Each structure stands twice: as C-alpha cells, then as structure tokens.
Amino acid sequence: MAKKLYIETQGCQMNEYDSSRMADLLGDTHGMELTTNPEEADVLLLNTCSIREKAQEKVFSQLGRWRKLKAARPEVVIGVGGCVASQEGAAIQKRAPYVDLVFGPQTLHRLPQMLNARDSKKITMVDVSFPENEKFDFLPEPRVDGYKAFVSIMEGCSKYCSFCVVPYTRGEEISRPFDDVIAEIAVLAGKGVREVTLLGQNVNGFRGPHHDGTICSFAELLRHVAGIPGIDRIRYTTSHPLEFNDDLIAVYADTPKLVSHLHLPVQSGSNAVLAGMKRNHTAADYLERIRKLKAVRPDIHISSDFIIGFPGETEQDFMDTMQLISDVDYDHSYSFIYSKRPGTPAAELPDDTPDEVKKQRLQILKDQIARNTGRKTDAMIGSRQRLLVDRKSERMPGHLIGIAENTRWVHFPCADENLIGKFVDVDITKAISINALCASAPLWIES
C-alpha cells in the first residue's frame, strides 16, 4: 500500500509552493500519497515560518502533538523544513529529539535521499545549506489540480531590511533561468492552467539568465508569460518598491493579462521609520510610483504590508502612515505589530513604545483599511467584471463562484459546472460582504 504523507504548512505563499513541490517529489520517488489526516500518515512534514515570534512558537507546539503520534507508532518519520529549520538547524532536535529530518527551503529536493539514508542508518539527517538553484533541477514537473498555479521565479532576498529574517533563512536572491520558467509555465498551460502567480520575495528583482548569458528583467519576463497560449491572467507576489520601475509600469500599460491588482508592501509611511527599516526609499518615492501606475491603470487595486510599532515609531510616524494609506487609497493590507527577530539589526534598537499603544495603532489602521475594502467592493456594483470561474457556491445553491481581477469573490446564477476553469463576463448587482458580491447570469462565456 502507498505510504501516506501529511504536510502542515505555516507562513507565506512561498511555503505553500514548497509544500506542494515536496508532495510532488515524494509522490514521484516514493509513491507517497497526501493525506489530510495526520493520524494515518507515515511521514509528517512541518514547513515552518519564522517571520514573527508567534509563527515560530507554533512550531514546537505542533511538534509536541506529533510526538504523541510517534509514541503510538514509532515508525512514523517526522521532518521539519522551512525557515525555522533553516535558522535553528540541528538545534531543533536538541529541543525535540524525536524529529528525524531537518531541511531548509533550498534543500527540500534532497528529501528523498534524506529519507532513504534515515531508513538505512536510523540516524537524524540535517541539511539546511543553500545550494544555488539546484532545487529546481531536481524537482519533478508540477502536478496540476485546477486552473490556477504558482510558479517560483526566484528565491531568497538580498535587501536585508533591518527587521527581517528572510535573507538569513532563505539566502540571497537568486533567479531561475528564463527558459526554465517559461518551460514550466508552458507545461502548466498545456495541463489547463489559466492563471499563474509568479512567486518570489522580490519578483521585480528578477534577473533570469537567458541561454546566451544575457539577463531577462521582470518586465520582459511578464511580456513573455503573457505570450504563452492558454495563460490569460498573470499575478505576482511580492515586489519591492525600489525596483518598481518605469519598465514594469509600461507592462501595465500594454499587457491586459497582467491583473489590475498589485501587492506592493511599503511597511510604513514615515520617512524616519523607512530609513530605520533600511527600505531605501521615502514615502514620496513610493507615492510617485503609485501615481505613475494609476495613470496607466486607473482601476488598479493596491494592497500592502504594514509593520506597526517598529522601534522608535512616534505618534507622528504613525500619522504619516495613515496619511500614506489615505493618499494611496489601499484596498487591503496584511498588517502586524513589529516582532523582534534575533540576529537582525533592528533587534538591537531600543523599543520603548508600550504594547497597548501599538495595539491601538494597529486597530486604527485595520479599521481604516477595512472601510476602504468595503467602499471599493460597493463601488463595483453596476460594473461589468471578467471572472475566472472557481467552484460551486455552497452558500447560494444554483450559483457558481468566480474570482474578479481584484480578488473579490463573485456569486452568479448558473448551474453549469463545465464553466469551472473558464472566463465569464457578468454584471455586478450587489455586495454581500466587504469582499464578496453577487452578479447577473453570464453575459459572455469563453468558448
């Protein structure tokens, strides 16, 4: 009988992507099948996140639960991957000696060998090194279920923002070769994928080598992806304001397949805080980029990440952030209170803002952005939207759900499940929550 694999994923979309590649890989080499039930799994993998303290704490509580499963069935293999593994390495096993494998984001392709070695020698395997790009050469072709796919185009980060662990856990920025990325997307398109999300910590820092040694920019890559037959929607995440250059804005002007939705993290609207964070730009620089972008895509929806309570953040700094939020008119945000990360430069800075004040600021910010989300959803009523049909609506029988370019969920009357994975045009009739809407029956269905 096929062995069962259970993967628990914490953190970002890069981790989600890595987890699905682990499943593909062990399916290929060991015939393993994914299960959603940890109790029946032969191999349990935890793909960890260390971006904030809370994320890191979750690792050992999860491992504690798995320890009981292993006590009942000692043959169970427990592996820890991702950013906590990368940072802690062998120290993981000091604290949790029942862990069998420790691997980093760049060594997950060595999982099959690690498993085999562990089976024959019954010793613990730790490999959290950073072999450049080797990972992608050893991964099988991605398996596809559905119409959307993630494609990693670069790994790591070399920006070294003062608060962030990513450059230490995932290593320096390294881009995949242009041909590999295009070939992977063409394969996905051949299997029915219609929407791709290009992934990386700073996708607009992409510098993928062509086979002749010249370098492909992110803007150029986007145009090539848009040229792949079958791919009709392109998203990407995450990009950095510094490299959000005119070439990239020009792609928005001439490439409609690139969605009118952009996640461009700014972290703060205060120049003093931005300098302390080592973001290397000002609030005005950011706003200028956004204005240029809106000039070519007036309907674009913009989201951001914010860090509240960075060491030394004053009331005025916070007000500057709120001002930027109003100037950009954000649609959505992922906002968190600053979390001190050991080994990062900001961890040395004095931090005397009381927790209560940070929590209040975060709440004010979140309330403001939630009002924006609702207002922008309401503003869609009466508009015509193109949806990628995703699934049957559970909430409204006889309806399907499609996703608009700006990521809103739209329910529309239609019983024909053959439309799933196709594009339709609908007229929006009403809002049913701050980010979901209802619409007419399809006015146009792609053939």
Binding region for ligand F3S (CB under 6 A): 157, 159-161, 164, 166-167, 201-202, 240
Contacts (Cβ under 8 Å, ≥6 apart) of 404 = 380, 385, 386, 387, 410, 437
Q: Which among ligand SAH, ligand F3S, none contacts residue 307 (Cβ within 5 to 8 A by kind)? A: ligand SAH
Q: Which of 175, 238, 268, 303 binds ligand SAH (CB under 6 A)?
A: 238
| Minimum CB distance to ligand F3S smaller for 50 or for 435 | 50
Contact 42, 76 (CB under 8 A): yes
User: What letter does residue 380 receive in the DSSP assignment?
Assistant: T
- Beta carbon of residue 354, minimum distance to ligand SAH (angstroms, whole number): 17
Contacts (Cβ under 8 Å, ≥6 apart) of 418 = none
Does 336 participate in binding ligand SAH (rule CB under 6 A)? Answer: yes
- Beta carbon of residue 383, minimum distance to ligand SAH (angstroms, whole number): 30
| Minimum CB distance to ligand F3S smaller for 159 or for 376 | 159
Does 176 participate in binding ligand SAH (rule CB under 6 A)? Answer: no
- C-alpha to C-alpha distance for 251 and 297, rounded to whole angstroms: 10
Alpha helices for 96-243 (secondary structure H)? 111-121, 134-137, 166-169, 178-190, 218-226
Binding to ligand SAH (CB under 6 A) within 11-50 occurs at none
Does 170 participate in binding ligand SAH (rule CB under 6 A)? Answer: no
Binding to ligand SAH (CB under 6 A) within 259-298 occurs at 265, 267
Does 338 participate in binding ligand SAH (rule CB under 6 A)? Answer: yes
**What DSSP string runs through 355-372?**
HHHHHHHHHHHHHHHHHH
| Minimum CB distance to ligand SAH smaller for 138 or for 336 | 336
- Beta carbon of residue 240, minimum distance to ligand F3S (angstroms, whole number): 5
What are the b/e assignments for 308-317, b being 16+ CB within 10 Å? bbbbbbeeeb
- Beta carbon of residue 73, minimum distance to ligand SAH (angstroms, whole number): 37
- C-alpha to C-alpha distance for 218 and 178, rounded to whole angstroms: 10
- C-alpha to C-alpha distance for 306 and 302, rounded to whole angstroms: 13
Angle at CA 415, nearest 5°, toward 374 and 188? 75
Does 152 participate in binding ligand SAH (rule CB under 6 A)? Answer: no
What 3-state class would DSSP assign to 152? strand
Q: Which of 109, 170, 176, 240 binds ligand SAH (CB under 6 A)?
A: 240
| Minimum CB distance to ligand SAH smaller for 128 or for 157 | 157
Alpha carbon of 280 to those of 161, 218, 240: distances in Å?
Answer: 9, 20, 10
Q: Which among ligand F3S, ligand SAH, none contacts residue 52 (Cβ within 5 to 8 A by kind)? A: ligand SAH
Does 166 participate in binding ligand SAH (rule CB under 6 A)? Answer: yes
- Beta carbon of residue 203, minimum distance to ligand SAH (angstroms, whole number): 9
Residue 318: CB atoms within 10 Å: 24
Q: Which among ligand F3S, ligand SAH, none contacts residue 160 (Cβ within 5 to 8 A by kind)? A: ligand F3S
Does 341 participate in binding ligand SAH (rule CB under 6 A)? Answer: yes
Give the binding site for ligand SAH (CB under 6 A).
51-52, 157, 163-164, 166, 201-202, 238, 240, 265, 267, 305, 307, 336, 338-339, 341
